[in-house]
Amino acid sequence: MKRRTFLKTSAIAGTFPLLNPGFSWATNNLDGDDNILVCVFLGGGADGLNIIAPVGEGNYYDLRPTLALKEPGSGIDASLDLDGFFAMHPAMDKLHQRFQNGDLAVVQATGLTSDSHSHFDSQSFMQRGIATEQNIADGWLNRHLSLQANNDPVFRALGLANSLPLSLAGNYPAISMRSIEDYGLNAGEIVGPVIENTLAALYNQDSLLDIEASKALTSMSALHQADPAQYPTENGAEYPDTEFGQRFRQLGQMIRAKVGLTTACMEIHGWDHHDNEPEVLPDILAELSNTLDAFATDMGTDMSRITVVTMSEFGRRAYENSSAGFDHGYGSFMLTMGAGVLGGKVYGDWPGLAANQLVFSGDLDITTDYRTVLAELLGKRFGQDDFATVFPDWTQAGELGVFV
C-alpha cells in the first residue's frame, strides 16, 4: 500500500498507524542528500517596517518621526542599504552580508490576508496555511508531508520548540523536541529499557496519547543510535547562547547525524513591540540574524540543500504610538536563505505608505500572500503540486521568482 493511501485510510478510521507493532519506520533513506526546509516562525508580529525599512519613502519618516531607522550611510546606527529604497536594521549586519553575497532574499509587504489582528487567531491561521477560519485542524507542512511521504525515516519532520509547532501538527507523524539532551529517560542502561519496553506494551491503542507515546519511544531509540550530540559545530560558527540559538545548533547536529530530516520548524517569540521598540528590537534581531548566519556557516556545503524561510503573523502599525512602539498591523516581511534562493533582492510590489495606501487603522498593505512564497518554495524545491490540499483557501496566481 502506498503510504499516502495508508495515511488516508487510517485518517478515515480516525487512527494513525501505530508504530508498535505493525508499522515500522524506514531506516534506509538516510543517505543525507534530500532537500531540507527550515521554517522559522517569529511569534508576536514582527515590525517589518523597521526591519526592512522603506527609507526611500518620505512617508516612512513622517509616520515614524522618532522611531524610524536612520538612512544608510548616516553614521553610527545607520540602516544597511539593500537596493537603494529598502534598508535593513543595523542589528542584522550578518544577514546583510549574506544578502550582499546573494544568499539571502527578502519579500516585503507580504503576510496573512486576514483582518483579525489577533496574535492567536493569526498565528493559528498562518500555521494552518489558511486565511479565514474553516474546519481544518492540521498544519500546512503536515499536509505537504502527508501528500508525498513514503517509507519515511522517523525524524523526517521535526519541531525544535516548546511544543510541536502547529504547522507540523496533524496525521503525518512529526516529532517534537525541546532539546537533544532532554530527549531521553535518563534512567540508566538497565532500568531505561525496562521502562521503555513496558510503556511500549501499555500504549497499544489508537488515541492521540498512544500515537504520541509510540512515536516518542521509536524516536527516542533512533536518536540514541544516531547520537547527534557527538557532532561538533563546524567552520567556526558561533551560535548565540540563547534558547533559539542553541536549538538551531542542535538542528545542525540532527542534520549532520543523517537522521533523514527534511522539514524542521523553529520558533522565536518576543516580537510584540507595543512599547520601547528601540530597546528590544535590536537584541532580538541580532539574535535572529546571528543564529541564521551561524547555522549557514555551520552547515557549510550542506547549505546547497537547505532552505530557510521566516514568517510572522502580522506586521505592525505604520505610525508610532505614545509608548515608543507600534500596535498590531498587517503587512510584514519574509526572509529566505540558502538552497535555491535567488538572493540579493527585495521581492514584492511596494504598496506605499501614503494615507490612502494604508489599510485598517493605518497598516501597511499586503501585496504578496505569504502562501505565494511558500508554494513557490514547496513547488520548486520539494516537488509539491497539490496546493488545493496544502493551502485550501488560496488560489495560485503567479509567483515572485524567488527560487530556482
Partner 1 sequence: MDLNHRLNQARLSDQAPAAGQSIEDQARQIISSIFTSGNSIPASTKTRALQDKFNQQLQATINGQVLTATDTGALPDDTHFLNRMSYGPTPPLREQLANEGWENLLERQLDPENIDTSDIDAALAQNFPTLTLTPEEIIKAGEVDLIIKVVTEFIVSTLMRQAYSPAQLYERMVEFWSDHFNMNILDAPLFAFKSSDDRDAIRPNVLGKFRDLLFANARSPAMLLYLDNYSNTKDGPNENYARELLELHTLGVDGGYSEDDVVAVARAFTGWTINPFNFEFLFHFPLHDRRNKEVLGTKIRKTYTGGITDGEQVLDLLASHPSTARFISTKLARRFVSDNPPAELIDALTQVFLDTDGEIKELLRTLFNSDAFWAAKEQKMKRPLDFLTSIIRRLGFDPGENTFRYMFTRLQQMGQIPFYWHAPNGYPDTAAYWTDTAAMISRWSSGNDVSRFVPDENMEAALDGADTPNTIIQAMAIVLIDRKLGTEERKAIRRNVFAGQKPNQPITGNPVEYARITATVLLGSRYFQQR
Contact set with partner 1 (CB under 8 A): 43-44, 115-121, 159, 162-164, 169, 175-178, 182-187, 191, 194-195, 197-199, 201-203, 205, 207-210, 212-213, 215-216, 219-220, 269-270, 272, 274-275, 319-325, 327-328, 360-361
How far apart are CB 79 and partner 1 at their closest, in Å?
23
Tell which residue, 367, 371, 381, has the closest CA to residue 262: 381
Angle value at C-alpha 68, between 63 and 70, nearest 5 degrees: 140
Q: Which three cell numbers stand for residue 189?
A: 542502561
Q: Are 91 and 312 in contact (CB under 8 A)?
A: no
Angle value at C-alpha 401, between 96 and 85, nearest 5 degrees: 40
Tell me how far apart the alpha carbons of residues 377 and 383 are, in angstroms, rounded to a whole number.
9
236-270 burial, b if ≥16 CB within 10 A, otherwise e?
ebebbeebbbbbbbbbbbbbbbbbbbbbbbbbbee
Tell which residue, 147, 168, 134, has the closest CA to residue 393: 134
Tell me how far apart the alpha carbons of residues 231 and 32 are, in angstroms, rounded to a whole number.
15
DSSP conformational letter for 363: B
Q: Are 120 and 127 in contact (CB under 8 A)?
A: no
Q: What is the dihedral of CA 218, 221, 222, 226, to 10 degrees?
A: 170
Q: Alpha-carbon Rg of the chain, whole angstroms?
A: 22
Q: Which three cell numbers stand for residue 272?
A: 510584540
Return the number of other C-beta atoms located less than 10 Å from residue 156's C-beta: 22
> What backbone torsions phi and psi does residue 236 show, to the nearest 5 degrees?
70, 20
Nearest CB to partner 1, comparing residues 272 and 376: 272
Q: Are 245 and 160 in contact (CB under 8 A)?
A: no
Tell which residue, 207, 135, 128, has the closest CA to residue 169: 128
The DSSP bridge partners found for residue 331 are: none
Tell me how far apart the alpha carbons of residues 248 and 337 are, in angstroms, rounded to a whole number.
15
